């Protein structure tokens, strides 16, 4: 029996990728505004992609330590429904972005050990959602999308006052187990459904959503 698990397909760059996410039943689609990422899109590209997204599917913009000028430039062109902050933003900065732009904010927090869990609690007090991700390894160029997982038992049955989403190293083969171990009701995938960095594979996208909901 299918579960009511909400899936986010992040790092979309093409109309075909957006269509694959929509057809598979994703609840969120993510656009990356981080120039160093192979999944980076410009505001103009994202605006065209956003036009392909049906009503009822949340359009999320991923930013890494953005200043107000960067956010203004993107939000002036792209009709996003949510801002995802994926850098070293403090809880105070999260609250500031949320107030300034009037959009829900999802804050990503990297987890490697139990010592990292306190940051989740701090951000859950100010963000609309939290994204529980794997902490990048030393030397990783990207803050996320590296295809690595953390020990899911660290957050088994933990709950916060806001909705949360599980990310980090998920793919069609392990997402069901990740959901079982953590109790997650929302999952986020990027590299785990790609044929190459930044290139989504429609068959993998469909398989991931199927596995998550099964």
pLDDT digits (tens, 9 = 90+) for 87-139: 999 999 999 999 999 999 999 999 988 999 999 999 999 999 999 998 875 55
* Residues 9-65 pLDDT 10s: 999 999 999 999 999 999 999 999 999 999 999 999 999 999 999 999 999 999 999
Q: Does residue 56 belong to any structural domain of this protein?
A: yes
Q: Does residue 71 belong to any structural domain of this protein?
A: yes
pTM more than 0.85: yes
Q: Does residue 82 belong to any structural domain of this protein?
A: yes
* Residues 158-214 pLDDT 10s: 889 899 999 999 999 999 999 999 999 999 999 999 999 999 999 999 999 999 999
- Active site residues per annotation: 10, 133
Q: Does residue 194 belong to any structural domain of this protein?
A: yes
Q: Does residue 92 belong to any structural domain of this protein?
A: yes
Q: Does residue 84 belong to any structural domain of this protein?
A: yes
Q: Does residue 1 belong to any structural domain of this protein?
A: no
Domain that holds residue 117: 6-213
Domain count, the chain: 1
Q: Looking at residue 167, which CATH number applies to its domain?
A: 3.20.20.70
Locate 69 and state its tokens: 């000028």
Integer CA distances (angstroms), 192 to 55, 105, 128, 171, in order: 26, 24, 25, 4
> Which letter does DSSP use for residue 155 in this model?
G
Which residue has 């990048």 as its token pair?
Answer: 136
How far is 186 from 130, CA to CA, in rounded Å?
11
Residue 141 has pLDDT above 70, yes or no: no
How far is 140 from 30, CA to CA, in rounded Å?
21
């Amino acid at each position: 029996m299918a579960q009511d698990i909400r899936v986010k397909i992040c790092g979309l760059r093409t109309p075909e990728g957006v269509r694959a996410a929509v057809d598979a039943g994703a609840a969120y689609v993510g656009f990356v505004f981080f120039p160093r990422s192979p999944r980076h899109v410009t505001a103009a590209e994202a605006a065209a992609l956003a036009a392909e997204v049906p009503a009822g599917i949340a359009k999320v913009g991923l930013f890494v330590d953005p200043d107000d000028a960067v956010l203004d430039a993107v939000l002036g062109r792209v009709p996003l429904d949510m801002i995802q902050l994926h850098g070293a933003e403090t809880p105070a900065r999260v609250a500031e972005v949320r107030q300034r732009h009037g959009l829900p904010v999802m804050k990503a927090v990297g987890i490697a050990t139990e010592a990292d869990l306190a940051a989740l609690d701090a951000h859950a007090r100010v963000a609309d959602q939290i994204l529980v991700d794997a902490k990048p390894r030393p030397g990783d160029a990207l803050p996320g999308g590296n295809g690595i997982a953390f020990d899911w038992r660290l957050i088994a049955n933990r709950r916060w006052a806001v909705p949360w989403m599980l990310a980090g190293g998920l793919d069609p083969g392990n997402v069901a187990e990740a959901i079982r171990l953590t109790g997650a009701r929302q999952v986020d995938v990027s590299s785990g459904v790609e044929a190459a960095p930044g290139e989504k594979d429609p068959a993998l996208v469909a398989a991931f959503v199927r596995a998550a909901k099964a």
